[in-house]
Amino acid sequence: MNQVLRIAQQNTRKSLIATKELLSYIENSQPDIILIQEPYTKNTDKILGYPLNSKIYHVDNHLTPKTGIYINNRNIYTKILDSFTNSWMTSIQVQLDNQPLVLSTVYINPNSIEPEHLTTLRNLLKTYEKTPVILSGDFNARHTLWNDRIINKHGQLICDLINELELQIHNNSKTTCFTDSGGESIIDLTLTNSIATPFLANWDSRNDLNTIFDHSLIEFDYQLRIRIPTRIPYNTRRYNEKKADWKKFRTLIPTHTIKKITQHIEHTHNTAEIDLCVQQLTNLIQRAAHHSMPTIKRSLYQKRSNWWDKELECLQIVVRNKRNIFAREKDRETKQLYYEDFKHFRNKYVRMIRTKKFRKWKEFLEETQSQDTWGNTYKMLKNKTTPKTYKLPIVEDFPMDQHQDIIKNIVNNIFPSSGHTHHTEHSTNNTLHESLPTNLTKKYIERLTNSTSSKKAPGNDHITYNMLKQINKTTSDLLSKLFYKCLQLGHFPDQWKEGILTIFPKPNKEDLYNPKNYRPISLLPSAGKLFEKIIQREIQNFLTENNKLSPNQHGFMPRKSTITALEDIKRNILDNRSTKMTSVIAIDFTSAFDTANWAIILRNMKTLNIPPHLINIIDSYFHNRSITMIYNNLRYSKTLTQGCPQGSALSPLLWNILINTLLDSFNFPNASIHAYADDVTIVCSGENIDALYNNILTVLTYVNTWSIQNDLIINYHKTNILNFHTETFPSPVRIGSNIVNIVPKIKILGLTLENHHYKKRINFTSHINSTINKTINIKNILFNFCRNTFGINSRKRKNLYVGLIRPILTYGSEIWSDQLNKKQLTNLNRFNMKFLGIP
């Protein structure tokens, strides 16, 4: 943690080149926060020119921002103050240990100050009168109070405001802030209220750094007697495998040690000794990683732009010197000559920046030395279309002394306790071993390990799939015997049961202070996930070979998919609506995977006659599971009593076993049920509106009763009904105190369905329009990266189309292609040909 917050302020005059030079400077000086006036926007509602994933605050209501705040130190806690952020002003709060700091940056156009400006500034300072406030920016205000030569209208009004609210001016009397051919002035101000004043130090206007800027860069420190709280990132991926010495890593896993552990596993019948062997293997791999590869170091600040070189640095010094010469000259005629000389070198400097930046950008996109289609251009596309967010307002927007309680609340909300335990003692009698798998060979384990993705995050032991692949031949025999012994004893090792919780905001959720609006992912140990894949395969094979699961379940089933589910739903809708009134019900379960009842899953497994050794291993898998959330240096762990961890290979299958009783028992003459994991859809019909209404009530009551009996909750806010008719139900569809929504369109497994006036059709207009708009957005971004004069070659472009664009365009085409009219088909074909460059 730091005791000094370094802050800079700069007017970039709406210039991309000025923005790039600012970035070049701050890469060396590394201020924590930059207060920006007149940012480069290209007349859009975004601030442009900064690195991808930059944290920049500005107005967000389709107005062109005149100010912004760039957070260079990504580990400090900040949040925007919406009430005091508009087109000409941006305000944020920086979280300190005992109280927040308010930072506000302002830009007021010349000769355009209005009462609104003064009222907003006054309200800000009065609202936060008991909080330290720093107010900075380009006020275009000139006054002798801050040592300017003249007084203008802006200056007088700002002077009155300073006197009224007893603000402190920090501008140095010896330095100016703005220089052009017309002279010098002081229009960029740094002001503080009485609480912030004692802590602001080292204010400096860096005229000596000016090259293409009219405005000087201003720097100052906010100094505290206590440390400034910062994030301490936690990542289960500890080691930098790009710099690993894999040969050394493999030699640090001695064969004789592996053989010794293997022999111990073969001769033991004790679960505690199995856990000991797992721990020995884990420690061995961790030590090898520690001595053969560096740990990942994450910089607080953005990295230097790779287009900046010594030639640019030298020319920058020349331009800076030329500027200083003309700025200091007093004689008008000589000053003008010096200014023309400065302009010549400045323009040369600007052209060189553009040339070098474009050249590097072209090299970055084209990657001529690589044949990989999924390189930088693809990564840029993904970042632009689906930007990742690492913000956690639910924690970050609150003081640090509340964080421990907050993470506890998050874990308890996402993973509520069931209120009962289920663990049963199970037999390990050898009579159960007759059905144990015989194909857990060394070769099988090698193939399984090599098939895993090295990009998957490891668990709390920091051992990645890539590490396991590197020592695959050495450890595959050990793992095969370990997994077999675990199945034999019905024991899932305790070290593999702790998940590290990471949460991401769900898309399109506004209330990010609600834990339910975050998607939880459990990061599990890699070796444990290999074992889960084996268990999943064994159970799935048994269920498939014996036709144990309902044919109405399409999720994570062999030879089934979202398309097979949608085909069944479409067929039922069209078959029924031709002669009857038809409706579709989409049912949503609240936190389905996280609240799955373990006892019911085990009971269903016994009902399905799943082999006892597989029931025993799942029982052990559930027993003594835990989830841990780590934030900064805070940690909260909870022993789980229910739920299928999202991130586990077993979770979808265990859910399918849980919901199978609903699918098997659902038997109504005028309704059919379809499931893809926890997405449940019911097609309901009736001879008339009253019959349909009663049938809907009957099936929903049945599903609701089943849910209660199985410890699940239907989310009626997200459960919707789409009518394929125009008549109105006699009364609202009510289940208990809950009313089910009737909606004009419904999204099922990625396809949007609507009623069609023809009974033999389903309306997919919204889906087609949405798909075209989405692909047009991708196409526009791609064409911006790949023009006629530069960009990836035609082979890579074609591959990007086949792998990225076409899957979006054609998803569900088996369902909707025969439902489109000529105009919709023409629009799709026109877009397709335009993308491929076919006239």
Q: What is the pLDDT of residues 531-560, one digit of tens each?
A: 999 999 999 999 999 999 999 999 999 999
Runs of H (alpha helix) within 666-792 = 689-709, 765-785
In total, the chain counts a number of residues equal to 839
pLDDT value at residue 363 = 87
Task: Give the residue-averaged pLDDT of 705-721.
Answer: 96
Model pLDDT, residue 733? 97
What proportion of the chain, given as a percentage, has pLDDT over 90? Answer: 68
Question: What is the band of 180 on the pLDDT scale with cuts at 50, 70, 90?
Answer: low
Q: Which residue has the higher pLDDT, 307 or 390?
A: 307
Does residue 432 surpass a pLDDT of 60?
A: no
CATH 3.40.1160.10 for domain 2-228, yes or no, is: no
| pLDDT at site 835 | 67
**pLDDT-based confidence at 8, cuts 50/70/90?**
very high
Is the model's pLDDT at 836 over the cut of 70?
no
pLDDT score of 430:
46
pLDDT of residue 699: 98
* Cβ partners under 8 Å of residue 258, min gap 6: 284, 474, 475, 477, 478
Q: Which residue has the higher pLDDT, 785 or 684?
A: 684
- pLDDT of 656 over the 80 cut: yes
From 135-139, 322-326, 386-390, 555-559, the region with the lowest mean pLDDT: 386-390
pLDDT band with cut points at 50, 70 and 90 for residue 369: confident
pLDDT at residue 390, as a whole number: 66
Residue-wise over 46-71: b if at least 16 C-beta within 10 A, else e?
Answer: bbebbeeeebbbbbeeeebbbbbbbb
Residue 261 has pLDDT above 80, yes or no: yes
The most confident of the ranges 54-63, 295-304, 322-331 is: 54-63
Q: What is the dihedral of CA 483, 486, 491, 497, to 10 degrees?
A: -20
pLDDT tens by residue, 203-256: 998 766 656 667 889 999 999 877 788 888 889 999 999 999 999 999 999 999
Q: What is the pLDDT confidence band of residue 439, given thresholds at 50, 70 and 90?
A: confident
Instruction: Answer yes or no: is pLDDT of 711 > 80.
Output: yes
- The answer to whether the beta carbons of residues 216 and 207 sit under 8 Å apart is yes
Among 611-625, 667-681, 779-793, the least confident range? 779-793
- Cα pseudo-dihedral 225, 230, 236, 237, rounded to 10: -100
CA–CA–CA angle 598, 518, 58 (5° rounding) = 175
Residue 633 has pLDDT above 90, yes or no: no
Please write the tens of the pLDDT for every residue from 455-478.
999 999 999 999 999 999 999 999
pLDDT band, very low/low/confident/very high, at 426 (cuts 50, 70, 90): low
* Res. 767 pLDDT band, cuts 50 70 90: very high
Is the distance from CB of 9 to CB of 37 less than 8 angstroms? yes
Average pLDDT, the chain: 91
State the pLDDT at residue 786. 79
- pLDDT higher than 50, residue 384: yes
CA torsion through residues 630, 636, 639, 643, sign:
negative
Helix (H) or strand (E) holding 311: helix 310-328
Could you tell me which residues come within 8 angstroms of residue 91 by beta carbon, excluding any fewer than 6 positions away?
A: 80, 81, 84, 85, 102, 103, 104, 105, 124
Report the range out of 2-6, 349-353, 662-666 with the highest average pLDDT.
662-666
List, in sequence order, every residue forming a beta bridge with 295; answer none if it has no partner.
Answer: 239
Instruction: Please determine, for residue 424, whether its predicted confidence score (pLDDT) is greater than 60.
Output: no
Of 2-6, 98-102, 699-703, 827-831, the range with the lowest mean pLDDT is 827-831
pLDDT of residue 250: 97
- Mean pLDDT, to the nearest integer, of 404-426? 81
Question: Where in 199-288 does DSSP place strands (E)?
Answer: 200-206, 217-228
Residue whose tokens read 């003008």: 336
* Residues above pLDDT 70, as percent of the chain: 94
Please report which confidence band the pLDDT of residue 510 belongs to, taking 50, 70 and 90 as the band edges.
confident
Q: Is the pLDDT of residue 610 over 60?
A: yes
pTM of the predicted protein model = 0.87
What is the average per-residue pLDDT within 738-765?
Answer: 95
Contact 749, 677 (CB under 8 A): no
pLDDT average, residue stretch 95-100: 83
Q: Which of 246, 307, 264 is nearest to 464 (CA)?
A: 246
Residues 6+ apart with CB under 8 A from 93: 78, 79, 80, 81, 100, 101, 102, 103
pLDDT digits (tens, 9 = 90+) for 80-89: 999 999 999 9
From CA 343, how far away is CA 733, in angstroms rounded? 74
